[in-house]
Amino acid sequence: MEPLDLTQQPPRSPRELLPGLSLLMAARTVDKLRATLPGGNIGEYQITGFSSSLLNALEIPEALLRAAIARAASDAEVADWIREHSDPPRYDEINAKIEGRTIGERLDDPAFIARYPLAKRLPPETSRLDMLIVDDAEAFTNT
């Protein structure tokens, strides 16, 4: 797959799914890893956080997925690779854990607020996935 420049566009929504893979954050994580390939630019984004949590839950090392993405010709190939290197029956559990994280759980964390100041403007029960969507929209309103 081609590298991405995440200073020009955000990664995909954390709710967007890869073809045939019902796993939240997977498409977004693929985009962020594509941005770390030679010629890419990850910009202000990072792998730590939801992406690293997803990789840990899947028990997939970041370097192995990055290599699979670099070799793949399509999202479908990446989705197949993830399915082959993880435990698909756990996807519902992983999704529930990711979906259940709210802004309110992190409002006392100064590092979180510094990274996502918009969290103070959103209801505490807002999913952090939805916060990422709002953050992306605000970051790219002028592009």
The model's pLDDT over 20-48, given as tens digits with 9 standing for 90+, comes to 999 999 999 999 999 999 999 999 999 99
The pLDDT of residue 74 is 97
Helix, strand, or coil here: 21?
strand
pLDDT confidence band for 9 (50 / 70 / 90): very high
Indicate the domain borders of the chain: 1-99, 101-143
Reported as a single tens digit per residue, the pLDDT across 84-120 is 999 999 999 999 999 999 999 999 999 999 999 999 9
* pLDDT category of residue 141 using cuts at 50, 70 and 90: confident
For the entire predicted model, the pTM comes to 0.94
Q: For the range 78-83, what are the long-range contacts, defined as Cβ-Cβ under 8 Å and sequence gap of 24 or more? A: 78/1, 78/18, 78/30, 79/18, 79/19, 79/20, 79/21, 79/26, 80/20, 82/18, 82/21, 82/23, 82/26, 82/58, 83/20, 83/21
pLDDT band of 142, cuts 50, 70, 90: low
Higher pLDDT, 113 or 141: 113
